[in-house]
Chain A
Amino acid sequence: MNADPRLETFLDQATTGLKADRELQLDVRHELASHLDAAQEEARAGGQPDPEAAALKQMGAATEIAGDLAAANRRRMTVRARIRRTISALLLPAAVLVAAWTAWQIWEDVAPMAMCVGKEPESFAYAKTPRGIASSLSPDQRLVLFGDPTRKDPAAQQRAIWEAHPENRVYLHNYLSHNHQVWDESHSEASLAQTKSILAQAATLDPGNARVDYLLAGSLLKNAAKVETTQDAVSKKNVPSKLLIQDRARLDEAMNALRQGLQKPEYRRYAKEMTAERLATLGPPDSFAGNLYRIGIAASTILPDLSNLRELSRVSVLYAGILIEEGRTAEAEALLDAEPRLTLQLARDSFTLIDVLVVHGLLEQNLKLAPPMWEKLGHPERAEALRRDLTRLVAPGRDWRAKRKTGKPPNEDQFMQHGSRFATMLMPVLGEFPDPQELAPGRELEYVLVERGLSACLILLFTGALFAAGLVALRWRFSRGGASAPLLLVPGPAAAARIVLYGALLPVLGYWLFTRYLPVAGREWNILNNLARLCLQLMMVAGLVVGLTVRLTTAAVRARCQALGVEMPDERLYKYIHNRMLGIISVSGVLLVLPLSSQSFYFRAVPFAAAGLTGLCLLGGVTVFLRYLFGPQRFGLYYGTLARSLMPALAAVVIVIGTLAGPLLRLEERKLVREDTMMTVSPEGGFTRVECDLVQRLRQQILGVAESQGVKK
């Protein structure tokens, strides 16, 4: 720079018309200074006594030059001012909006699940609904799905549905299910009276349904008798042995209600219909969260009556024993004769695995309790026939259980390695596994969910960096009386396009092609079996996006600062990384395509190394931020200018990733959720397609045997 005050004065005066564009002013000042340097050198070489004065004389009058320069650059200054205003008014707020939108989308997906963690399934129904569902519901649909949340207890909330549709049996039984739960918890006389009144109304509306009688019998039984159990010597399981009567009259009343139900043509809880209606109202899932929400809604609807029927079944057999002791053998025979219908009625209405398992449990219980009663009645042939029949009926359930315990089911290994983590949590208990070709959508879905999370993290990271850069720029704006006020260096279209192309588009496109079309990406394995490769891939794309964006922008800013004569620190670490960028990318690329064994040390170490490296990078970022914030004053203009000029680049990357990667991944998620028929809750029953098939099969087997035995409906 020129030390001579005459030269400084000349430069100040000549560029005074460009004050409105400080970058341009510095640029022109530096250009004129460079010219003066060359002119002085020549004058000095020519032996002139005052080379500075000679150089200034050749330049002409500063005021005239100032006017010409201002006129020549007026249009350019206007355009650049507009670009700056656009960046400040549009680009930065747009980036913040995109980041907020991304965060909101993630929250919309995660919140419904987060709000229900550790709570009863019913809470799913009242928690925040996933996006796309709540807005599309009519008030009536909302009522059918959630009941009336303004009422205080769950039974009253569900009663509101029935009250709105008093002729609808499905809604009536849905309310009865919830009401019975309330009765289960408080056995007061007032509550019993209320239950009786409701059940009387239900009996009028649905006279042929045994469920009303069973609910009444169960309610009466609560304060009437208790079953005492003893441990079986062989199986070591508790077996009902004796009925402890608390209120004989009420026990008789309960058993009369039971007998009445056993005479009715059908038993229906309408839980399957209620679930199907609610699932149809929700529509097909279009996100993983939506699918989980459907499962939550289904879980909040199903599985009523099971404990009540189990209790009624064993009490009825023990009650028959009391009748025998009292010499009322005809009544005992009639009850024992009718009792198996209870189990088969439940079998016909069952649509979940738990339903079928309870049916199986009831059959096993009857096998132990009922034949001895027939023997007591002096009908050993009836006892033997019942043993034979019940043994055949429990056979499907026993076979299924035995198969789960012994031997390895086909497809198990393949399933555990290639099925989604979600599926591998739910399926093993079934002991049955789907065909390998069914595993792909669920498995790929989990990769997409991780990628959605990463893209959101990247966007939030960049937005955080955006605010940090803003803070650095602000800090230097007011230091040294404004002498270090940062410049917003406006990159040309080519430089801006290069930053966006190399910093965001190419890494993301490369990642997309690599993971979707190359087998070395390892996507045929489930996400945990491919964790090392996945970590490398995610680190690679995140590192490239962050590294290249910052590096390209920093390189452009440093070159420009150098041209403008802005004093810069010697960034040794930056240069070190800058010079080895190609090497770092190459090594990571080689690691990405290594054939890996999931048992290797490398495979297990990579996730930890990736986590450590991410932590180091974040720490490095914080260190750089602090250095730029509190670095030496003489570099303030550079620190502030770099920070301020990084802001538009970071904003552009946020906008590109947020508007491209986010929606594309959402589309892919929706496609995979709809293709993943295996993990979709079915209106036919079960939380998965495999469970649904298993339930149908076991149910049909039990009913088939019952039909061949001629058991009465």
Chain B
Amino acid sequence: MEFSQELIKGTVVPVILKLLSEQERYGYEIMKLVNERTDNAFVWKEGTLYPWLHRLEGEGLITSEWIASPEGRQRKYYRITRRGLAMLKTRTAEWTAFSRAVNVLLFGPAPA
């Protein structure tokens, strides 16, 4: 099932923050993880990830650092900041409330 781009856009920030809250990661790794964990349900154009990462970095939610791998390859790793963690918490709570409200609207109230 392919999701609409509008719906995906609304989830990019919490998804990136969630993955970075686990550990520091580089862009390609984030993309691979999204595909793996959603079983390729999210069809992200890979190039669109970087503007998001830069935007989050500009807002101080994540930081980046170039690190050389043991093979000598340079990769830019992103790390979540305290502000990013707080934002993740807020956005997670927001998503939970939002999805619960949409569920109620679409499927009726949950049985008591």
Question: A23 CB to closest chain B CB, in angstroms?
Answer: 12
B74 contacts A65, CB within 8 Å?
no
Contact with A along B49-66 (1 / 0, CB 8 A): 011101101100000001
A65 contacts B28, CB within 8 Å?
no
The residues of B that contact A64 with a CB separation of less than 8 Å are 45, 47-48
Chain A's closest residue to B68 (CB) is A562
In angstroms, Cα B50 to Cα A69, docked, is 7
In angstroms, Cα B55 to Cα A72, docked, is 5
A31 contacts B27, CB within 8 Å?
yes
Chain A's closest residue to B53 (CB) is A72
The residues of A that contact B58 with a CB separation of less than 8 Å are 72-73, 75-76
State whether the Cβ of B75 lies closer than 8 Å to any Cβ in chain A: yes
Cross-chain contact of A58 among B26, B46, B50, B51 (Cβ < 8 A): B46
B47 contacts A31, CB within 8 Å?
no
B74 contacts A68, CB within 8 Å?
no
In angstroms, Cα B58 to Cα A28, docked, is 14
B46 contacts A39, CB within 8 Å?
yes
State whether the Cβ of B76 lies closer than 8 Å to any Cβ in chain A: yes
CB proximity to B under 8 Å, residues A28-72: 28, 30-32, 34-35, 37-39, 58-62, 64-65, 68-69, 71-72
Question: A378 CB to closest chain B CB, in angstroms?
Answer: 113
A35 contacts B46, CB within 8 Å?
yes
Contact with A along B63-85 (1 / 0, CB 8 A): 00010100001111000000000
Known: A559-B66, A562-B74. A59 touches B46 (CB 8 A): yes
In angstroms, Cα B46 to Cα A73, docked, is 18
State whether the Cβ of A430 lies closer than 8 Å to any Cβ in chain B: no
Question: A403 CB to closest chain B CB, in angstroms?
Answer: 77
Known: A60-B47, A562-B66. A34 touches B76 (CB 8 A): yes
The residues of B that contact A37 with a CB separation of less than 8 Å are 73
In angstroms, Cα B46 to Cα A59, docked, is 5
CB proximity to A under 8 Å, residues B10-61: 26-28, 45-48, 50-52, 54-55, 57-58
Question: B77 CB to closest chain A CB, in angstroms?
Answer: 11
State whether the Cβ of A563 lies closer than 8 Å to any Cβ in chain B: yes
State whether the Cβ of A14 lies closer than 8 Å to any Cβ in chain B: yes
In angstroms, Cα B73 to Cα A71, docked, is 28
Known: A34-B28, A72-B54. A59 touches B73 (CB 8 A): no
Cross-chain contact of A14 among B26, B47, B73 (Cβ < 8 A): B47
Chain A's closest residue to B65 (CB) is A563
Residue ranges of B at the interface with A (Cβ–Cβ < 8 Å):
26-28, 45-48, 50-52, 54-55, 57-58, 66, 68, 73-76
Residue ranges of A at the interface with B (Cβ–Cβ < 8 Å):
14, 27-28, 30-32, 34-35, 37-39, 58-62, 64-65, 68-69, 71-73, 75-76, 559-560, 562-563, 565
24 residue pairs bridging A and B, Cβ less than 8 Å apart: A14-B47, A30-B74, A30-B76, A31-B27, A31-B50, A31-B76, A32-B50, A34-B26, A34-B27, A34-B28, A34-B73, A35-B27, A39-B28, A60-B46, A64-B45, A65-B48, A68-B48, A68-B50, A72-B52, A72-B55, A72-B58, A562-B66, A562-B68, A562-B74
